[in-house]
Homo-oligomer: A and B are copies of this chain.
Amino acid sequence: MTATLLDETHDPSARSWVESANAADTEFPLQNLPFGVFSRRGSNEPGCIGVAIGTSVLDLPACHAAGLFAGACVAEGGACRDVSLNALMALGPTHWRALRRRLSELLRAGHPDEGRHHAMVGPHLVPMAEVEMRVPAQVGDYTDFYASLDHATNVGRMMRPDNPLLPNYKWVPIGYHGRASSLVISGTPVCRPRGQMRPEGAETPIVGPSRRLDYEVEVGAFVGPGNRLGHPIPLADADRHVFGLCLVNDWSARDVQAWEYQPLGPFLAKNFATSVSPWVVTIDALAPFRVPPVARPEGDPAPLAYLDGEDHQAWGATDIQVEVHLSTARMRAAGTEAARLSRARFRDMYWTIPQLIAHHTMGGCNLRPGDLLASGTVSGPEPSMRGCLLELSWRGQHPVDLPGGERRAFLEDGDEVVLRAWCEREGATRIGFGECRGRVVAEP
C-alpha cells in the first residue's frame, strides 16, 4: 500500500512558500496538512475548517469562496464550509485525496503557478497564535479500546499478580463505549472529579474528590464514511473508513474506577473529561509511516480470520512516537521545563486501528462520520514506555521523581499534562501531531 499510496504530496524534497513550514523542527510541513476547526481568538464565530501549515492556519472556507478548489470534488459538497469536519469525513478517500493534492499544489514552492497561488492563498493564512481550536468533529459515539498488551499486562499484574492477562485479551480487541458529551479540546482545564470510592481496608465507601487522578496517553482515530447498521466493515476496507488520527488524554480517576468498574466497566471514573488534540493528521499523510504490525509474542494465537489479512500484515500498523510531559505549578513558577514521563511507539500496540474498526463493526454496529475510536493507553515493554501514572508509579507505590524534588504518585491540582507525537523515518519528511494539553484544577 505505501507504494501505491505515496504520491507527490509525500515528496520529501518539496518545500512550501510558507517559510515556517520548512523549518527543521516544524510539526506541520507541506507533507502533513492536518485538518482542524478554528475560530479567531476572542470571536464568537462558530468554528471553521482550517489546515495547519508551519505556524499558520489556512482558512478553508475562504479558499473555497475564492474558487481555489474548483475541480477538486470536495468543492461541490460544501464540506469545507461546515462548522466541523463531519461532512468532509463523510466524503471518503477519493475526495480527501483530491483536496490534499490541491492543497499541496497551492502551498508548494516552485510550482509553475506559485506566484498566483501565493497571491490568492496568502490572504487566507491566519497565524496560529491568533486562533483558538475546537473539538474537530461532532462526535456521535466515542469508543475507547485497550489495545496495548503491555498496558493490559501491567494493570492486570497489579490486580491479579498470578494471572495478569484475562483469557480473552489475545483474541478480542477489548473496548467499551466512552462518553461523547465530555470530550474537550486540548487546553481546556480539567476539573478534579468527585466520586464514590472505598479506601483500602475500609468496609464502606466515601464520597469526595478523587485522590488518584491519572492521565492516559492514547491515539484517536476519526471515522470517515462509516457503515450502515448490520453491515460490518471488513478488515481490508478499514483504512477507507479512517479519516485521520489525533491524540487523546483519557483522564481517569483510579480510586473511583476500582470501586465502580465491576461488572459493567468504567463509568464515572472516565466520563468527567477526555481531551483531544486539535489537529487531525490524515490517513494519507501517514502513508509513509505504515508498517507491519508488531510480531506477536511466541506462542500467541494468530488473529482470527476477520482480524487478519495479507495487506494488514504488510502495513496494518502505523509507526508513531508518543510522549507524555508533565509540569507542576511549582515547576512552572521556577521556570523549569516540563519533564518527560514516557515515550512509546504506537506500532507496539497488540491491536491495530484497522483491527479495531473491523472488530467494532463485526456484529453490525454502525460507525458514523466523526465517531472517535481511541486506542487505549499507549505503553511499551520498557518501564520508560508506560503511558499513565498508574503504571509508572505502580499503583502509587513508587512515585515518580520530578525536577525540583517533587514526586507524583497521581496528579495534583495545577499539574499540566502534555501529550505529543510524531512520525519520522529515513526518506520521509517528519510530521507531528501538535499537542494535547490539559491542566488539573481543583473541584469548584
Decide: B366 and A264 in contact? CB cutoff 8 A: no
Contact with B along A142-162 (1 / 0, CB 8 A): 000010000000000000000
The total of chain A residues at the interface (CB under 8 A) is: 63
Task: Please tell me if A193 contacts chain B, counting CB pairs below 8 Å.
Answer: yes
Task: Please tell me if A72 contacts chain B, counting CB pairs below 8 Å.
Answer: no
Decide: B194 and A362 in contact? CB cutoff 8 A: yes
Cα separation A210 to B362 with both chains bound (whole Å): 12
Decide: A301 and B204 in contact? CB cutoff 8 A: yes
Copies in the complex: 2
Nearest-neighbor residue (CB-CB) of A184 within chain B: B229
Decide: A230 and B196 in contact? CB cutoff 8 A: no
A198 — which chain B residues lie within 8 A by C-beta?
167-168
Cα separation A179 to B184 with both chains bound (whole Å): 20
Given contacts A140-B180, A140-B181, A261-B263, contact A256 B363 (CB under 8 A): yes
Contact of A365 among B231, B271, B304 (CB under 8 A): B271
In the complex, which residues 238-259 of chain A have their Cβ closer than 8 Å to any Cβ of chain B? Answer: 253, 256, 259
| Minimum Cβ distance to chain B for residue A147 (Å) | 12
Cα separation A419 to B435 with both chains bound (whole Å): 49
| Minimum Cβ distance to chain B for residue A305 (Å) | 7
| Minimum Cβ distance to chain B for residue A320 (Å) | 23
| Minimum Cβ distance to chain B for residue A271 (Å) | 4
A182 — which chain B residues lie within 8 A by C-beta?
229, 364-366
Give 5 A-B contacts (CB < 8 Å), ordered by A residue.
Answer: A182-B365, A191-B229, A196-B304, A268-B359, A268-B365
